[in-house]
């Protein structure tokens, strides 16, 4: 197969005169021209807009900007038209409100009155009208799933979308199956005659999990005079990862990792940028951003070209351990820095494989989960990976990794099977960790406490260790719990010293039953478990004995 086709985006030329068109004004920040997605995942990335333009905005009337909409919502105007009363809405009732001057829309189980929002919609009223009078969740996900609609339409909220059962209690003629006019609706003993008919409005299909269909990232870009932002829109809660390789000051390889798929893009800027870039991932929306500073501040007429490559696993990159800080009797904080210009942003709960060269025996590999830098007791530059490592006497990798600053470590791209969307409907979650099993839990804690949709109510961390000295990140965790009371931290030690005044023991059926009890107002509905294999097995056994479904448990395997 030949080279993948690419599209160059440049200022259009007037064919008659041969002159270039005038330079766009500084307010025109987004410029994209794309063809449809080419076969076999090659070619230029397709936009997410229904028209093929990633930012298909319309000119809004004066007085209809985002700030004007916010001011209208704060004015006390009854945008929902319900006088503040939350009212469940059936599908039949929703379908009645399908006109521009009477427009209701349902997104992810919530119904909004968007009548007043019509003229404020950046995509134009016609685009919004496509979704009114029905459940527009699928359309919303396809066009702009990253938008925080709950905040934008909060004052328009009518109520939850409900399925309504219609029960016909009129007696049926047993032979014909039609209602009998001569029979009383009640039997001789006062009860209703059976059979009676029941009809139920269709239940909206549940959102498809990212595992069931491959998510193709959609591309966009914005710029300021000083920098340019490259954007990839993935699916909500798809928990994407990111790797960026610097080839030159204008050329980069970008890998967007979604579940078990790696999407590879070759980006060539129209002008030079500075390294390093800044990577940001909005986990709830799945929006991935890369911010590059321009070498020469100016507004560009085009970002350059973006070519989709065949996806494949990345060859391990070489990293150096630039920091090795011992913080207790057998544990170390390690900072890994890439030897080349590489940026790697981890998906929540995913691990990397670290391979070291061992003299006389070849190579040895061990998996570690990078942690948020805030939990590390030493500084960690943005382009580096932060690890907490327990050194074992017989551990080839851990002994070598923690003995001194090590060079030439081979580090894989992120791997794992933790699906963030499984936590979507749960606001009372327990995290069971043992020893170094706390590492994937740390990222989950940060995400859940910051989550805006289905805000967490109770987050219980039960952390098992042998001794008090073995507890990792204790001060940081307890400081977070003191600041945010939704998080509770519970330490249980198996062989504590005499001065320990806390709980003693191991994972047990009683602990599982207390957490999984359905009678408690803070009853846990989902568990994350991480520790040695024996701990994980015991936790699963005790939760099952307590009557908790394993469908609502995720176990991180070492």
We report the CATH number of the domain holding residue 476 as 3.40.50.80
> Is 202 inside any structural domain?
no
pLDDT higher than threshold 60 for residue 424? yes
Q: Are residues 441 and 512 in the same domain?
A: yes
Q: Among residues 143, 162, 181, which one ends one of the domains?
A: 162
Residue 396 shares a structural domain with residue 437: no
The region of weakest confidence among 230-234, 257-261, 464-468 is 257-261
The residue among 120, 136, 162 that closes a domain is: 162
Torsion, Cα of 335, 338, 344, 349 (10° steps): -40
Secondary element (H or E) of residue 510: helix 509-516
**Phi, psi torsion values for 433, nearest 5 degrees:** -130, 145
> Residues 79, 128: contact at Cβ < 8 Å?
no
Residues 404 and 425 both lie in one domain: no
pLDDT for position 437: 95
State percent of the chain over pLDDT 70: 78
My answer on whether 399 and 505 are in the same domain is no
Is 260 within the bounds of a domain?
yes
* pLDDT tens track for 218-257: 899 999 999 999 999 998 899 999 999 999 999 999 999 9
Residues 409 and 430 in one domain: no
Q: Do residues 499 and 529 make contact, with C-beta atoms less than 8 angstroms apart? A: no
Answer yes or no: do 428 and 546 share one domain: yes
What is the mean pLDDT of the segment spanning 210-221? Answer: 73
Asked whether residue 42 is assigned to any structural domain, the reply reads no
Residues 6+ apart with CB under 8 A from 188: none
Burial 218-228, CB ≥16 within 10 A → b, else e: bbbbbbeeebb
Separation of alpha carbons 326 and 309, rounded Å:
42
For the cut 50, the answer to whether the pLDDT of residue 530 exceeds it is yes
Q: Which CATH number fits the domain that encloses residue 248?
A: 2.60.40.790
Q: How confident is the model at residue 57 (pLDDT cuts 50, 70, 90)?
A: low
Same domain, 222 and 301: yes
Residue 513's pLDDT band, with cuts at 50, 70 and 90, is: confident
Residues 235 and 285 in one domain: yes
433, 461 in Cβ contact below 8 A? Answer: yes
Q: Is the pLDDT of residue 522 over 80?
A: no
| Predicted local distance difference test score (pLDDT) of residue 84 | 77
Regarding whether 551 and 461 lie in a shared domain, the answer is: yes
Read off the pLDDT of residues 138-151 as tens digits, 9 standing for 90 and up: 888 777 766 778 77
151-173 per-position pLDDT tens digit:
788 889 998 888 655 455 455 44
Classify residue 148: in a domain, yes or no.
Answer: yes
Q: Measure the CA–CA gap between 9 and 302, rounded to whole angstroms.
A: 6
Listed residue (391, 413, 347) closest to 556, CA to CA: 347
Cβ 334 vs Cβ 403: under 8 Å: no
- Number of folded domains in the chain? 4
Identify the pLDDT of residue 3: 47
pLDDT of residue 313: 63
Q: Which domain holds residue 232?
A: 218-309
- Residues 262-291: pLDDT tens digits? 999 999 999 999 999 999 999 888 999 999
Report pLDDT digits (tens) over 304-352.
999 998 766 678 899 999 999 999 999 999 999 999 999 999 999 999 9
388 and 435 fall within a common domain: no
Instruction: Look at residue 261 in the predicted model and tell me its pLDDT.
Output: 86
Q: Are strands 261-269 and 503-504 parallel, antiparallel or unpaired?
A: unpaired
Scan for tokens 């859940």, then name that residue: 448
Is residue 333 in a domain?
A: yes
Q: Looking at the structure, do residues 408 and 430 belong to the same domain, yes or no?
A: no
**Of 415, 441, 463, which closes a domain?**
415
The string of pLDDT tens digits covering residues 86-101 is 888 999 999 999 999 9
DSSP string, 475-489: HHHHHHHHH-TTEEE
Q: Are residues 102 and 152 in the same domain?
A: yes
Domain for residue 26, yes or no?
A: no
171: which DSSP letter? P
Residues 6+ apart with CB under 8 A from 52: 34, 36, 46
Q: How far is the C-alpha of 141 from the C-alpha of 144, rounded, in Å? A: 6
Report if residue 240 sits inside a domain. Answer: yes
Does a structural domain hold residue 55?
no
Q: Residue 357: give its domain's CATH number.
A: 2.40.30.10
């Amino acid at each position: 197969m030949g080279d993948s086709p690419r599209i160059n985006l440049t200022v259009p030329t007037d064919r008659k005169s041969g002159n270039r068109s005038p330079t766009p004004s500084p307010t025109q920040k987004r410029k994209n021209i794309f063809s449809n997605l080419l076969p076999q995942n090659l070619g230029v990335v397709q936009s997410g807009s229904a028209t093929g333009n990633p930012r298909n905005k319309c000119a809004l009337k004066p007085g209809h900007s985002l700030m004007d909409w916010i001011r209208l919502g704060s004015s006390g105007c009854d945008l929902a038209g319900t006088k503040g009363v939350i009212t469940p809405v059936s599908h039949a009732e929703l379908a009645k409100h399908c006109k521009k001057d009477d427009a209701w829309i349902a997104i992810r189980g919530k119904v909004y009155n968007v009548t007043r929002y019509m003229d404020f919609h950046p995509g134009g009223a016609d685009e919004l009208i496509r979704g009114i009078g029905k459940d527009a969740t699928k359309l919303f996900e396809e066009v702009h799933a990253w938008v925080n609609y709950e905040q934008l339409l909060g004052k328009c909220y009518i109520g939850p979308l409900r399925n309504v059962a219609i029960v016909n209690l009129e007696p049926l003629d047993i032979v014909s199956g039609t209602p009998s006019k001569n029979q009383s609706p009640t039997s001789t003993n006062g009860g209703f005659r059976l059979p009676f008919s029941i009809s139920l409005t269709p239940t909206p299909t549940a959102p498809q999990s990212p595992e069931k269909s491959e998510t193709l990232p959609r591309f966009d870009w914005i710029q300021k005079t000083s920098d340019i932002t490259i954007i990839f829109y993935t699916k909500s809660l798809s928990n994407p990862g990111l790797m960026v390789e610097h080839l030159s000051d204008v050329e980069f390889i970008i890998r967007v990792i979604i579940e078990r798929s790696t999407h590879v893009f070759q980006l060539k800027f129209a002008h030079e940028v500075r390294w390093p870039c800044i990577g940001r991932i909005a986990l709830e929306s799945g929006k991935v951003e890369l911010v590059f500073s321009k070498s020469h501040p100016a507004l560009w007429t085009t970002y350059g070209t973006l070519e989709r490559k065949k996806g494949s696993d990345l060859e391990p990159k070489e990293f150096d351990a630039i920091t090795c800080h011992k913080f207790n009797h057998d544990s170390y904080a390690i900072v890994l820095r890439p030897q080349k210009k590489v940026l790697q942003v981890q998906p929540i709960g995913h691990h990397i494989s670290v391979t070291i060269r061992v003299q006389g025996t070849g190579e040895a590999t061990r998996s570690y989960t990078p942690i948020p830098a805030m939990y590390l007791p030493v500084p960690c530059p943005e382009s580096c990976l932060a690890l907490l490592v327990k050194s074992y006497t017989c551990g080839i990798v851990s002994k070598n990794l923690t003995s001194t600053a090590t060079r030439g470590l081979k580090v894989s791209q992120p791997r794992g099977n933790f699906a963030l969307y499984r936590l979507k409907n749960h606001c009372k979650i327990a995290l069971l960790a043992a020893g170094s099993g706390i590492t994937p839990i740390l990222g989950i804690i940060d995400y859940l406490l910051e989550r805006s949709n289905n805000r967490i109510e109770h987050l219980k961390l039960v952390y098992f260790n042998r001794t008090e000295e073995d507890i990792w990140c204790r001060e940081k965790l307890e400081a977070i719990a003191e600041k945010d009371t939704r998080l509770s931290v519970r330490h249980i030690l198996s062989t504590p010293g005499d001065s320990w005044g806390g709980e003693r023991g191991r994972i047990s059926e009683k602990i599982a039953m207390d957490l999984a009890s359905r009678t408690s107002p803070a009853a846990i509905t989902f568990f994350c478990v991480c520790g040695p294999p024996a701990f994980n097995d015991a936790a699963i056994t005790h939760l099952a004995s307590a009557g908790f479904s394993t469908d609502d448990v995720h176990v991180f395997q070492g």
